[in-house]
Chains A and B, each alone.
Chain A
């Protein structure tokens, strides 16, 4: 039988709320008491998280319709770029991930670099909206928002800036209405799904989406939670709760944890016809990448895009494979196109200290030279 060596406890580490080294923990009563206390505290915090502040950057609602709100962020410094930026968020979860907390806010960083920022914030579709499709989202809702931003700033063209599914929608819009877009900035666009090796792509490929939409209508949040639960199930799904318990006395850690947790489980349904197109046309048939996807009567041809393009991908993205996003640069006709790759994940790319220090300064620099 194996013998386990019991090393002395690291009291300092315990005080800092970090991981304890070299203990056979459960055998030592004081440690056992402490772990029980921490688990109790974690349980209390998780069952009653009170108010979690997210999306705190000051903004005004310029327009509110049934399925979207157009927000304009108040400037933090004098404007340094003439071209306004319209950020198009995804239809999955809520847009405040782009403004999660002041020191990890994508929006705030762009504002503090002197850009004029607008955000297309999608509202939850009701059961009555189940026939709303990408045609509505792209050709009407995004188009309405683009026109409002253009008129308000008296400019012909704006910078369109999408995140994840919002990037794919921005590509669709640019291919169809390029006369209104000066620059296209995409973060982790879902594009060449034949190269997507993620769990989400695998599940999507074999999903009978017709049956689901025809029977249920809108895509329910529970289905998305099922997918989330299969993404890094132990490294993130299980380990994050160990980390929480270990760091439960570190207020900053707990607040960060709660903000991300709130976002993860703040999931609206997705309109039925929209998710049908997303799964069937994009994941199962790869029509968007092959220039065969139709929105209403319009065929989307990505090779029509010849405006400056900045495509940003995360090397460790487990929601959208980098291999799925990178081909955007190959399929457009732009002469001025740039691919930026960063060693982080899907959310780390937009809502982390890494992003603030490494990603956003470069994005700002690229934008500034093309926004005068």
Chain B
């Protein structure tokens, strides 16, 4: 038997169907635009429109990331709303145990307990952890799209890109480790020399 506290499955399915319709429509538009911007690839025009094409492509990626981000948020909010409904339903289902003589604090604690149980059970569930990661990943993708546009700008300005700076930082960190290793080895050789009276 289905859980009466959960929102109706049909409502969620309907919502998901509507969303997937919107998403597929947007994906179709995205694919068509992508094909159009790839068109001028014959002859010298290819060189002239290279930057334009790359920017268009990045902007389209940015739009797609926004759509994905929105889609991932839906699943997150469905779960959050479901926990809210669950908490309220639990509270009303147990209303016989709620005394009419209860004071403000007791009512507050009953509310807090109901919501705490519902949300903690949500936050410790695998479904939530996956939904949270999807939201987080979609936001990172969105940010990555913006980063790529900035990297392109930096290239145009003949300035080092973030990827190039990262290479230097990684090498710097490794060099620091090498220096520390060398220093430690030097210290141990010095110590050995002292202990064995080497001059």
Contacts and interface: CB of A to CB of B under 8 A. Distances in A.
Interface in A1-35: 2-5, 7, 19-25
Given A215-B140, A215-B144, A216-B140, A234 B115 contact: yes
A202 B177 contact: no
Nearest to B173: A131
Interface stretch (B25-33, B40-48, B54-62, B122-130): B122-130
Contact of A203 (B129, B147, B176): B129
Interface stretch (A132-140, A182-190, A342-350): A132-140
B140 A140 contact: no
B29 to A, nearest CB: 26
Interface in A64-100: none
Contacts of B103: 7, 20-23
B153 interface: no
A202 B123 contact: yes
B177 A208 contact: no
B169 A211 contact: no
A136 B133 contact: no
A234 B100 contact: no
Query: Of residues A197, A198, A211, A226, which shows the largest number of chain B Cβ atoms within 10 Å of its Cβ?
Result: A211
A330 to B, nearest CB: 25
A211 B141 CA distance: 9
Interface residues of B, number: 36
A211 B116 contact: no
Contact of B100 (A2, A132, A226, A235): A2
Contacts of A197: 124
Given A215-B143, A216-B143, A232-B120, A205 B100 contact: no
Given A20-B104, A21-B105, A212 B116 contact: no
A242 B108 contact: yes
B137 interface: yes
Contacts of A131: 169-170, 172-174
B58 to A, nearest CB: 15
Nearest to A239: B112
Contact of A23 (B104, B120, B125, B176): B104
A269 B58 CA distance: 29
B144 to A, nearest CB: 5
A215 B169 CA distance: 15
B101 A5 contact: yes
Contact of A206 (B115, B116, B126, B177): B126
B129 A206 contact: yes
A359 interface: no
B129 A232 contact: no
A280 interface: no
Given A215-B147, A216-B143, A207 B133 contact: yes
A24 B101 CA distance: 10
A233 B123 contact: yes
A211 B140 contact: yes
A104 interface: no
A211 B120 contact: no
Contacts of B125: 202
A128 B180 contact: no
Nearest to A199: B123
A148 interface: no
A230 interface: yes
A66 B115 CA distance: 44
B100 A19 contact: no
Contacts of A7: 101, 103
Contact of A230 (B123, B126, B173, B180): B123
Contact of B129 (A3, A4, A205, A226): A205
Nearest to A2: B100
B81 interface: no
B132 interface: yes
B101 A212 contact: no
A117 B183 CA distance: 27
Contacts of B166: 130
A238 interface: yes
A5 B100 CA distance: 7
A233 B116 contact: yes
A234 B116 contact: yes
B119 interface: yes
Interface in B68-126: 100-101, 103-105, 108, 112-113, 115-116, 119-120, 123-126
Interface string A237-259: 01100100000000000000000
Interface of B: 100-101, 103-105, 108, 112-113, 115-116, 119-120, 123-126, 128-130, 132-133, 136-137, 140, 143-144, 147, 166, 169-170, 172-174, 176-177, 180
Interface of A: 2-5, 7, 19-25, 128-132, 135-136, 140, 197-199, 202-203, 205-208, 211-212, 215-216, 223, 226, 230, 232-235, 238-239, 242, 296
